[in-house]
Structure 1
Amino acid sequence: MLCCAGGPAKTDEADQRTIKDSVEAVMAVTNVRLRGMSLLLQNIPHRGGNCLHTRLSKWCRLAGEGREGQYAWVLDSPINQFNAQTYRRLAFDCTQLLKNDYAERHPEVMEAFLNTLFYMKREMHQARPGNLLLNVVAEYWAPLSFKSTADAIKEVLQSGRMRGEILIMDTQYPEQALATPYAAAVIQQVTTPIWLPNKKAQAESYAKFGVTGKVFEAVRDMGPLSREMVVQQGHQTVKLKMELDGPLKYWLPLLSATQKNLAVAERIRQHLGTTDPKVWVDAFLVAEAVRQWLNTDDPAVWLPAFDYAENQRQSMKTRDAQRWMPAFQKAWKAIQEHNEMEDAS
């Protein structure tokens, strides 16, 4: 909330007490769906000029006088769906925000948004003390760009294990992480770096991560599609390969999102009328396997085939693609041949 108010430099002790009291008032509302920035703003008096109310209003849907704040989309959802007591998993697609030019032009948005994610995961974990928590931070250069979120990462690295927390950070651009002001302190605390192939790796940059000599050469020489990696821990280094051939390829769409399979997942959720992963995940894997086999992105082509394949899979009572897929392919080819013969006649 401090970064939304302009940071500690613009927020005196009186403002901070007001924020604390307002947050407590919002959290006391029993209807979780009503909690949000607009409700918080109602508890903060307007004193004119660049007061606390004015600074926070740009983050609110109901900013006063029928206005919507410039950054209302960041934090002030019309309906709050997050409830720490019921959520066990939390994930956000930050692709558009993580574009470097956006992050540079809107640092206040990035800091507020990232701090909110860290806050939500803390609340979620505190609701279940003793449970294991896996933190996955993609493009970790972004939270390392701000002291507040860099401190949150350092705290997990230093003390998270005592709470059952594990932290995984990744980036496609190690050099970008090095350019952040808080990278050095964080990198020193990472116990197990895993390096993926990088033909464009720069020796000078990788040396700052402790990757030199033959280890650096291995990182640079691995093929981009080899699924090989170099793992370091302490003074030991080993080269590994992740085998995802044969039946395991069927599960890849769950492990690695692309624009194509994300579109398939969204269409399947719409088709089934549910966002419950217990319902749509198996169906999505079937749909993606069918789409790839038909070699098409057109839902008008793959969706009818999916319906047929899903019915066949369920009738066979199996999740094993090596069982239902050949049966589907044989039947679908027969249907297509029959349709072609009818069209010809």
Structure 2
Amino acid sequence: MLSPKQKLMNDALAASTHVPYTVHVSPHNVRTLTGDTLTVMRIDGIAHEAADERDIEGWHDALIGLMRNIAAEDIALWIHTVREERDKFPDGEFSDDFAGRLNTLYRASLSNSAMMVNTHYLTVLVRESTATGFFRPAGGRLTLTAAQDAIRDASDRLDTLTRGILAALSRYGAHRLGTRQHNGIVYSDTLTFLARLVNGTSQPIAVPKGRAAFGMVNARLSFGVEQFEIRLPDRRQVGAMLGVAAYQIERTEPGHLNVLLTLPFPFVLTQSFAMFGRNKAMAALRKQQRLLINAGDASESQTNDIALALDDLAAGRAVFGEHHLSMMLLADKEDALTGRVAAARAALGEAGFLVVREDECIEAAFFAQLPGNFRMRPRPAPISSNNIVGYTGFHNYPSGRLEGNQWGPALTLLKTTSGTPYYFNFHLPGSSKRSVEEAAVDDRLPGHALILGPTGAGKTVIQTFMLAQAEKYRPTVFTFDKDQGQANFVLAMGGTYSTLRNGIPTGFNPCALDDTPGNRTFLQHLVMRCIRGDEPAHRFSPTREREVQDAVAGMYAMPFEARRFSAILPFFDPTDPNGNAARFRRWCAGGTLAWVLDNPIDTIHLSTGRYFGFDVTEFLDNDETRTVVVMYLFHRMEQLIDGRRFILNMDEFWRLLQDPYFEGKALDAVKTYRKRNAIAVFGTQSPADVLRSSVSRQLIEQCVSQLYLPNSKAAHEDYVGGFGLTEREFEIVRKEMVEANLRGFLFKQEASSTVCELDLAGFDDDLAVLSATSQSVEIARRAISLAGPRPDEWLPRFHEMRREAI
């Protein structure tokens, strides 16, 4: 009596007879039993959701052109769309603090809903011909050398063809599958994908020594009427196959089957397209024309469509071939399978197919998913290249990159409105899987971000949430805040936060900086800026400039405890009525602006902690003091940008863009921070004000990640004319997200965009930290005064006091 394991192996061996693959003839190419040679490409797909119709039409036309370019009677294509669950949360270590607890809660909230990802695969086959097969039509056997030459010629031809296809599909993220080595074992990603079609799950397949098919099937397959079973040692799945009985439309539009990309369950959609030669295509069309006429039910439009198809074929505008389509649905239970079959039939019917659930042909339909199984395809029918491109436009929803990003694992996982996962990163994904520590400085990828959203849309919550999720990278974060909106967050992260007030000593003492050439140069510029005041035309004579240099040098010669702004004044000539002393005096003790920089000690301590926040609201409109405050804060901040992971975080940064000094600093930051392992995150409510800046275009270009929150009052000239959104993206921001009451944003990175959700409903305590009000800031300060500065001690008290105040 056979053991269960032996029976499973026998069933797998029997199923292997329907798997047509024999051997890898090259790292990328596989040979079939019938002498065909194939290669497989994995295609991420192109983001269509927010693309303009004109762009989508352009992609469609380009794919039709590709079909014409590769057309040959011995070329066949298999196209698969695999939709599967993927909700792996990005790795990353957090401490047991605010960010860590928020991460745990957020991760748990996502586990309540399954997310799906779509992946496309394109298999290209060069079919056996008398020139490439082992046997001649007369039955004469080729010599071994001739047979090997024929195999090599077919493989070389496929390589040439594939290179052209990959170039044409570069915008779609096409990658060729092949072999790879791991722990001394050579694995085949090509066979792994093909085996997934029959096993219902993916498992690495090593390159076998014998016939490839025998090492690919590891499941027990049982076929009944309308249903089959895939049984693995640890799982049982039931499945159904849907097929096309008739095509009820003659013409397809770009993205004709996009409705399938949002179905809430897994599936494998398979299509094949075996190209006709021109004579065969002409014969097939004329046969179809005769059948319609003889049946007596041909409409005028059907007759015209065939006539147009004949014209397209004769003029070389279209290619024709034999097409089949199937959908494999799997579930753990029969009830779930029944529901999925009904939903899938409805979606395919909406696309214009007369859909059947395979019964007698179920086994043939199942194995026809495998490229090269031509004879098993149920009901193949002739269609044009225009149709097949409409059915397989390789559209998709972006999914980001889970691993191998600039700073390692993805920053966070977001759910898109299509139900797919999006692995969010500020940095561009790049083309390799190396993290930044493995990359040369010049290879570091940009990661500056721009967050735009009106009042009440949740901009501050998104900005601070992303910073909290970035805590896994242990960055240093320097925040320029407005209206104390991020005060509670900075303090909850164990940071220091200062609210700068006009007329109140800031605690800044630039003279306490270490005596270094860089600090001396900075102090000279700072002192000259104070002397110049609000007179940009003021010029320093060589004598007065030398006087500033000598004054800074003289101050540094003094004991540390005596070094302050007032200590510089005595080094200036007091007799010159418009000299340095007269202009600098107001910044020193007794002067109207002494509170800004003439403080006995410097209260900015950057040697401990990683979070520093400054509310500069009152300085934004103070022309007298704004520039010097920005100069000092930026100088202290840039001393921290030494190769460590660093984030410059700015809320309402457009207000600072009104300052010419900050304009230059901001532009320098977005251009140079990449090589220094730093990024800038800018938030604003007013895109129009950003665009008024003379450096707005350069800033927008350098901000590679852009987050647009719903805005019913979004102006076309700002979002499309200024920020470069497409018309479709603008419609999503101004209308669709607003109407859906979406808590989320349109995320745009380079030419790709997707709509992401960030719904923190039920996170009341966390939201009070992520986005502060004047009332909650005051409560936080009282809680700190009672419980102490440690966040794990004052946060519970804060939440108690906040609830009592509601």
The TM-score, its normalising length taken from structure 1, stands at 0.70
Q: Are the aligned partners of 2:708 and 2:733 in contact in 1 as well (CA < 8 Å)?
A: yes
The answer as to 2:764 corresponding to 1:249 is yes
Aligned-residue Cα RMSD (Å) equals: 2.6
Residue in 1 aligned with 2:732?
218
When structure 1 is superposed on structure 2, of 19-28 and 253-262 the one drifting more is 19-28
Matches within 5 A, 1:180-199: 180-199=693-712
The answer for unaligned runs of 5 or more in structure 1 is: 63-67, 297-345
Residue in 2 aligned with 1:123?
639
Deviation for aligned residue 1:235: 0.7
Residue in 1 aligned with 2:669?
156
Matches within 5 A, 1:55-66: 55-60=583-588, 62=589
Residue in 2 aligned with 1:46?
574
The answer as to 2:551 corresponding to 1:22 is yes
Residue in 1 aligned with 2:148?
none
When structure 1 is superposed on structure 2, of 228-237 and 1-10 the one drifting more is 1-10
Residue in 2 aligned with 1:308?
none
Aligned pair partner of 2:797 in 272, 278, 287: 287
Q: In structure 2, do the counterparts of structure 1 residues 241 and 22 end up closer, same or farther at CA, with 3 Å as the change threshold?
A: farther
Matches within 5 A, 1:291-302: 291-296=801-806
- Secondary structure of 1:136's counterpart equals strand
- Secondary structure of 1:157's counterpart equals helix
- The one-letter amino acid of 1:241's match is E
- The one-letter amino acid of 1:134's match is I
Residue in 2 aligned with 1:168?
681
Matches within 5 A, 1:1-345: 1=526, 2-6=528-532, 7=536, 9-26=538-555, 31=560, 35-60=563-588, 62=589, 68-86=590-608, 88-98=610-620, 103=621, 106-125=622-641, 129-207=642-720, 208-221=722-735, 222-223=737-738, 226-246=742-762, 248-272=763-787, 274=788, 276=789, 279=790, 281-296=791-806
When structure 1 is superposed on structure 2, of 213-222 and 229-238 the one drifting more is 213-222
Q: In structure 2, do the counterparts of structure 1 residues 44 and 133 end up closer, same or farther at CA, with 3 Å as the change threshold?
A: farther
Deviations 1:272-319 (A, max 9, x none): 3x4x3xx1x2344323322343344xxxxxxxxxxxxxxxxxxxxxxx
| Matches of 2:579 and 2:799, distance apart in 1 | 56
Q: Are the aligned partners of 1:87 and 1:124 in contact in 2 as well (CA < 8 Å)?
A: no
- Secondary structure of 1:96's counterpart equals helix
- The one-letter amino acid of 1:119's match is H
- Secondary structure of 2:705's counterpart equals coil
Deviation for aligned residue 1:136: 0.9
Residue in 2 aligned with 1:326?
none
Q: Percent identity?
A: 26
Deviation for aligned residue 1:118: 0.8
| Matches of 1:214 and 1:193, distance apart in 2 | 16
- The one-letter amino acid of 2:591's match is G
| Matches of 1:159 and 1:145, distance apart in 2 | 21
Q: In structure 2, do the counterparts of structure 1 residues 14 and 144 end up closer, same or farther at CA, with 3 Å as the change threshold?
A: farther
Q: In structure 2, do the counterparts of structure 1 residues 244 and 18 end up closer, same or farther at CA, with 3 Å as the change threshold?
A: farther
Q: In structure 2, do the counterparts of structure 1 residues 290 and 159 end up closer, same or farther at CA, with 3 Å as the change threshold?
A: same
Tell which has more relative contact order, 1 or 2 (C-alpha 8 A, sep 6+). Answer: 2
Q: Are the aligned partners of 1:57 and 1:69 in contact in 2 as well (CA < 8 Å)?
A: yes
Q: Are the aligned partners of 1:145 and 1:181 in contact in 2 as well (CA < 8 Å)?
A: no
- The one-letter amino acid of 1:18's match is E
- Secondary structure of 2:667's counterpart equals helix
Q: Which has the higher strand share?
A: 2
| Matches of 1:134 and 1:156, distance apart in 2 | 11
Q: In structure 2, do the counterparts of structure 1 residues 93 and 184 end up closer, same or farther at CA, with 3 Å as the change threshold?
A: same
Deviation for aligned residue 1:181: 3.0
| Matches of 1:193 and 1:29, distance apart in 2 | 49
Q: Are the aligned partners of 1:90 and 1:121 in contact in 2 as well (CA < 8 Å)?
A: no
Deviation for aligned residue 1:169: 1.0
Deviation for aligned residue 1:78: 4.0
Q: Are the aligned partners of 1:37 and 1:75 in contact in 2 as well (CA < 8 Å)?
A: yes
Q: In structure 2, do the counterparts of structure 1 residues 4 and 239 end up closer, same or farther at CA, with 3 Å as the change threshold?
A: same
| Matches of 2:746 and 2:544, distance apart in 1 | 50
Q: Are the aligned partners of 1:144 and 1:183 in contact in 2 as well (CA < 8 Å)?
A: no
Q: Are the aligned partners of 2:643 and 2:678 in contact in 1 as well (CA < 8 Å)?
A: no
The TM-score, its normalising length taken from structure 2, stands at 0.32
Q: In structure 2, do the counterparts of structure 1 residues 28 and 294 end up closer, same or farther at CA, with 3 Å as the change threshold?
A: same
- The one-letter amino acid of 2:631's match is N
When structure 1 is superposed on structure 2, of 199-208 and 215-224 the one drifting more is 215-224
| Matches of 1:254 and 1:46, distance apart in 2 | 51
Deviation for aligned residue 1:48: 2.3
- The one-letter amino acid of 1:122's match is E
The answer for unaligned runs of 5 or more in structure 2 is: 1-525
